[in-house]
Structure 1
């Protein structure tokens, strides 16, 4: 019977065949141990010379790393194995013999591994990160479906930018200027006026020349937008969503989290509600902690966010940033014109901002005034302004960066490991 490693527990004590690659091997005299992978998981195949005969045993001992195989054997329960099972091998059929596989069990430099990203993905660690990423995506769809959101797909090519064009990739759209999208938000606002609650999930692009462990040039964003939702309710939905996703990973990716050595107790604390502090309070806190150079009106860098996050064991909202730091579309605080109704959600353990969100301006005249104040084209944003002319309502939304979220939940140091093929400042290969 043919099966997969992921489903092998359903065939306990039965003989099965799996298609697999050899991730590694070792032998001790009359027993060979094959580390097998098939994409659904990893399992150890045990080849006993006395049971299979000389020919099969020598074949198993001579297998090379990443050769592809059909392996037949009896499924045995083994509490020591990560999956709870191992395979007592009875037959090996080589499909393709790999020669001189470049990523060996020894240590390799980061640049070497990135140059071989197409192969590095096969490793147990990278496999675990990708499985966690997949679980976060699945949980995202489940959460928003359960909460009556409709998925809408915004365009990737746009004629204008939600936050100006300084960090956008420009291209030609026939005889017009166009840009790769840095956010689908404005289009999601239009969709929310039609569908009520919507979300998008897709690639976004930022042409910022940053080399930090938190930045990618191309990354994926989850962007919900909600009609009739004001500031505080927006924060509640964010914390419910993040808590839901973390719980799903804890329930469905224990093997992968253990593979990565993740401290599960830290993730188990992630339940709504999350702490909230204002920008004013954050500035005071940082000054008390010795950040003497920061003053009101400054934006926060990674050290500032980390210092704030270390004070909590859950993600923390920083709310009510100065108007001067935020885009033109954010709703001013009705009690203070110098701050807006926005929040950044800072992940624990030094992973930085994973969500940015706000209540959006719903007044036509105020939005028009802000567009002009930011020296943006009224003509380019005419369609966006019209959303405030025909049945405007209070509405809010946010954007979650998938790769930073994967890095935080999985405990991976750098976001380059959280996307299959990262695009970095000096990397467009492979």
Structure 2
């Protein structure tokens, strides 16, 4: 007997196979039982016809409980196009592996807090399954894109001795008698790697001790952080455009069924093609004031309503470029045409999903960078000595950026809250399960 997964049904039409699965749901009448199977690779209907099977099998099919694990044997048949899978299983035998009793998440509506308390089980639902498949596809496409672009994958440390963007949003820990921090970005280390390997990218967890409860924030999230030697600001923006366009296209091509199940408007994703609009910070401030945002002034960072207003003026992701130097991190390169600005950009996703990328050209001059480090009150002789040395031994123009995976998953999937975009979210009030 051939054992296959649900995703392989299309290759076994007319054949008798065995599938290991869980019972996601069921319904039955006096003469037929319909079992909704799931096995991780997908969902499929199994049909048990009373007249065609032993009495014991039909009784088992009618009585089997939600999330019981089973071996099911049957013939793969076309379902006439009723489902995205296109096939179902006509059951001839079934064996219970382990019974599920009083499964807490039933087909009825449940509150969000209840579902979050049962996140380890909520992941089994069709919706969460679809979101995780989209997440996986964005990760797969990311590796594919950067491999094709000639990048090398590098893994920066998670425990660091310095704070690239200030200590106020960092988790501090004791590292054998000295302070250390959970990484909020791998950027500084990626710059070192770029000086060795040219074009590099990292993918890993990052941590922000920001006491925020908005639908856009997580305490622990995953970042894709490319860093490129011999790249100026404009070259970096062009790479970002290609990358975001690439992963959006990959999601459309390889997760269409999942996106449709989530109710995503695919026409909006189909528009995501480079080039993206570029708006200078000063022009964005003027736009917001013209739109009636009296709370925003030059020198302010943008909040969610401001980003949404800017995004709604465009069908595509939009770059906000050339920010004031005073509100950006010390490592960004000053605009040669205006020393009050830096060569950086935030990429704002459409439809109110906010910033998904932050990036800049990095300061490559030793003396200027040292001056900025001292001005920030940071320790240039210890924590940042190695970072400064990158400008001492063959410095070159270089740029980089970071894309927040969960915000991007939320945008591509069209889901409202970022907490569904990661398997086990860490929020201000949640560290369980």
Partners of 1:48 and 1:274 in 2: CA distance: 55
Q: How big is the shift at 1:175?
A: 1.2
Partners of 1:27 and 1:12 in 2: CA distance: 24
> Which of 404, 407, 411 is the aligned partner of 2:410?
407
Structure 2 stretches lacking a partner, 5+ long: none
Partner of 2:83: 81
In angstroms, what is the RMSD of aligned CA positions? 0.6
2:130 counterpart of 1:125:
no
Deviations 1:147-182 (A, max 9, x none): 000000000000001111110000000011100000
Q: How big is the shift at 1:349?
A: 0.6
Partners of 1:344 and 1:151 in 2: CA distance: 23
Partner of 2:168: 166
Matches within 5 A, 1:158-307: 158-307=160-309
Deviations 1:352-388 (A, max 9, x none): 0000000000000100000011111112100000000
Partner of 1:59: 60
Count the aligned residue pairs: 430
Q: How big is the shift at 1:53?
A: 2.9
Deviations 1:254-312 (A, max 9, x none): 11111111111111111111111000110011011100121111110000000000111
Partners of 1:31 and 1:264 in 2: CA distance: 37
Partners of 2:315 and 2:92 in 1: CA distance: 50
Aligned partner of residue 19 in structure 1, secondary structure: strand
Partner of 2:363: 361
Partner of 2:335: 333
Deviations 1:16-63 (A, max 9, x none): 110000000011221111000000000011111111132111110001
2:105 counterpart of 1:103:
yes
> Which of 370, 384, 387 is the aligned partner of 1:384?
387
Structure 1 stretches lacking a partner, 5+ long: none
What is the TM-score of this pair, normalised by structure 1? Answer: 0.99
Deviations 1:47-99 (A, max 9, x none): 11111132111110001000000011111112011211111111111101100
Q: Which consecutive segments of 4 or more residues in structure 1 shift more than 6 A?
A: none
Partner of 2:24: 23
Partners of 2:297 and 2:418 in 1: CA distance: 30
Partners of 1:73 and 1:315 in 2: CA distance: 48
Greater CA drift, 80-89 or 134-143: 80-89
Partner of 2:350: 348
Partners of 1:210 and 1:292 in 2: CA distance: 23
What is the TM-score of this pair, normalised by structure 2? Answer: 0.99
Partners of 1:91 and 1:155 in 2: CA distance: 52
Aligned partner of residue 172 in structure 1, secondary structure: strand
Partner of 1:421: 424
Deviations 1:326-372 (A, max 9, x none): 00000010010111000000000110000000000000010000001
2:37 counterpart of 1:36:
yes
